[in-house]
Chains A and B, each alone.
Chain A
Amino acid sequence: AQSVTQPDIHITVSEGASLELRCNYSYGATPYLFWYVQSPGQGLQLLLKYFSGDTLVQGIKGFEAEFKRSQSSFNLRKPSVHWSDAAEYFCAVGPSGGYNKLIFGAGTRLAVHP
């Protein structure tokens, strides 16, 4: 069965430091992979997505992610974190069941110290 694991529940970084959020997936074929961000009281916003092609994907807000098939990973990175990046980040894989259904990980909550 398809699944997504985000090993880190909470991460705290200092403003200006680099960031890497981990995501591992289990999927029987070539996956479509997504990173979403959720700020308090808000819905999910898509940061970036991977469908095919270049394994390094650029997204909004200075984020990027790298698809590594051999490691079944799709880690999210940012070279310099801003205080406004504090939020919860969700990795997702799809399609599941052929209907664009997404399977989400449990999320990683990011705190940013000034």
Chain B
Amino acid sequence: EAGVAQSPRYKIIEKRQSVAFWCNPISGHATLYWYQQILGQGPKLLIQFQNNGVVDDSQLPKDRFSAERLKGVDSTLKIQPAKLEDSAVYLCASSLSTQGNYEQYFGPGTRLTVT
């Protein structure tokens, strides 16, 4: 079974530029999560999708971050414009469903450096 795929693996941009990350979850997984992991901290949930609908985006900085999951499969997370404090690893995860606490499977992450 293929795991969660993410690209790119690394990205370096200057502040005020825009960037986009892509995630392809495990086939058949209805729920997709985007986490932000700042160096020295645990992952923090940014947004959670159930199929192509948002079920939790309470910690997403909506003035600069946006995410979509078209057709309930792949997802894109965008930052525009980026700030220095956005430097982090962005992890995508997927699970079978939001109910029943199904295990979340994580991708390798995208390491973003904002200079």
Chains A and B form a bound pair: yes
List the interface of chain A (C-beta within 8 A of B). 4, 32, 36, 41-46, 49, 51, 90, 92, 94-95, 97, 99-102, 104-107
Decide if B60 is an interface residue (CB 8 Å cutoff): no
Complex CA gap A4/B42 in Å reads 10
- Are the C-beta atoms of A41 and B101 separated by less than 8 Å? no
Contacts of A46 in B (CB 8 A): 103-105
| Least CB distance, A2 to chain B, in whole angstroms | 12
Q: How many A-B residue pairs have CB under 8 A?
A: 61
- Are the C-beta atoms of A106 and B41 separated by less than 8 Å? yes
The proximity string for B residues 14-48 relative to A, scoring 1 for CB distances below 8 Å and 0 otherwise, is 00000000000000000100000000111111001
Chain A to chain B contacts (Cβ below 8 Å), 17 pairs: A32-B101, A42-B108, A43-B91, A43-B93, A43-B106, A43-B109, A44-B106, A49-B103, A51-B101, A94-B101, A97-B56, A99-B50, A100-B95, A102-B104, A104-B44, A105-B42, A107-B40
| Least CB distance, A18 to chain B, in whole angstroms | 24
Decide if B55 is an interface residue (CB 8 Å cutoff): yes
Complex CA gap A84/B45 in Å reads 28
Can you list the 7 inter-chain pairs with the closest CB atoms, starting with the nearest? A104-B42, A43-B106, A44-B106, A100-B98, A43-B108, A99-B98, A99-B55
- Are the C-beta atoms of A107 and B101 separated by less than 8 Å? no
Question: How many residues of B sit at the interface, in one of the four size bands?
Answer: 20 to 34
The proximity string for B residues 83-110 relative to A, scoring 1 for CB distances below 8 Å and 0 otherwise, is 0000000010101011111111111110
Closest to B101 in A: A32
